[in-house]
Amino acid sequence: MTLQAKLDAFKADFEAGKPPYNVPYSVIETMRRATAELTSLGLAERAKKVGDKAPAFTLKDAEGNALSSLELLKKGPLIVSFYRGVWCPYCNMELQALQAALPAFDKLGASVVAISPQTAPNSRKSTRDNKLTFPILSDTKGAVGDAFGLKFSLPDYLVDLYKSLKNDLPSFNDDPEWTLPMPARYVIGQDGTIIYSEVNPDYTRRPEPEELLPALRRAPKAAA
């Protein structure tokens, strides 16, 4: 089953209120409204895209080790996945799909990192729960997501909904602001140029990992 098929199946069960979700339809309506409004703002079109230079970053992994995008790019192309957090089931399914695709990425010399605004303990939970072997990086205050054009503020009505669902983003992210990145996936060539980008304000839509392979095969090398 493809990643998107798994996401669609989960979404269908969730929106149908099947156990264990049992979500009122008003919650579904609010989430749909927020996605539609975010889409209408056109933020995805303003995010970094193919042909742009990727912002360089240094972030800490779940164990507190600093990882630099520039250092990783010395080894080969870099796959960067921005995700919302361990609390997001769609994000967890995507992380699992990327893990399953690691052998194909390794053959093409690519490194993989995933970035979220969550704290290190939550990143460790992401790693543990999804059985990941690639790094999860903590983007403090969403600064790197902002540099890529992905960061947005949740509308007040969505903040109220998250609070009612005990989805406390300030606690998850150690940040008083209610912000998130739009889910996004990039492939960065060794020269720092973005050669693949997928940004979607609809968090239930994610590209298949296999879509990255053509970009990896044509990834430019670092200058000698």
**Coarse DSSP helix, strand, coil percentages of the chain, rounded to the nearest 5 percent:** 45, 20, 40
Looking at the chain, list the stretches that DSSP marks H as alpha helix, in order from N- to C-terminal side: 3-15, 25-40, 43-46, 69-73, 89-100, 102-107, 120-130, 143-147, 156-164, 169-173, 213-217
91 a catalytic residue: yes
In the predicted model, what is the mean pLDDT of residues 56-79? 97
Per-residue DSSP letters for 5-35?
Answer: HHHHHHHHHHHTT-TTT---HHHHHHHHHHH
Question: In this model, does residue 222 exceed pLDDT 70?
Answer: no
- What percentage of residues in the chain have a pLDDT greater than 90? 92
| High-pLDDT (> 70) share of the chain, % | 98
Confidence of residue 22 (pLDDT cuts 50, 70, 90): confident
| Beta strand 151-153 pairing with 179-181 | antiparallel
97 SS3 class: helix
DSSP for residue 2? -
Query: Which domains does the chain show, CATH number per domain?
Result: 3-217 (3.40.30.10)
Dig out the tokens for 108 from the structure: 């093409």
Q: pTM above the 0.75 mark?
A: yes
Tokens of 191: 């020269």
The first and second tokens of residue 162, run together, are 């998250």
What average pLDDT is seen over the chain? Answer: 95
Average pLDDT estimate for 111-136: 97
Handedness of CA 211, 53, 134, 61 (dihedral sign): negative
Residue 80, CB-side half-sphere exposure with 13 Å CA sphere: 39
pLDDT for 20 equals: 83
Nearest CA to 147 out of 61, 39, 54, 42 is that of 54
Give dist(CA 95, CA 182) in Å, integer: 15
pLDDT digit string, tens, across residues 139-198:
999 999 999 999 999 999 999 999 999 999 999 999 999 999 999 999 999 999 999 999
Judged against a pLDDT cut of 80, whether residue 64 lies above it is answered with yes
Please tell me the predicted confidence (pLDDT) of residue 224: 52
Cis bond before residue 24 (omega within 30° of 0):
no
pLDDT for the residue 171: 95
Catalytic option among 44, 91, 180, 216: 91
Residue 223 reports pLDDT greater than 70: no
- Does residue 96 sit in helix, strand or coil? helix
Residue 22's contacts (CB-CB under 8 Å, 6 or more residues apart) are: none
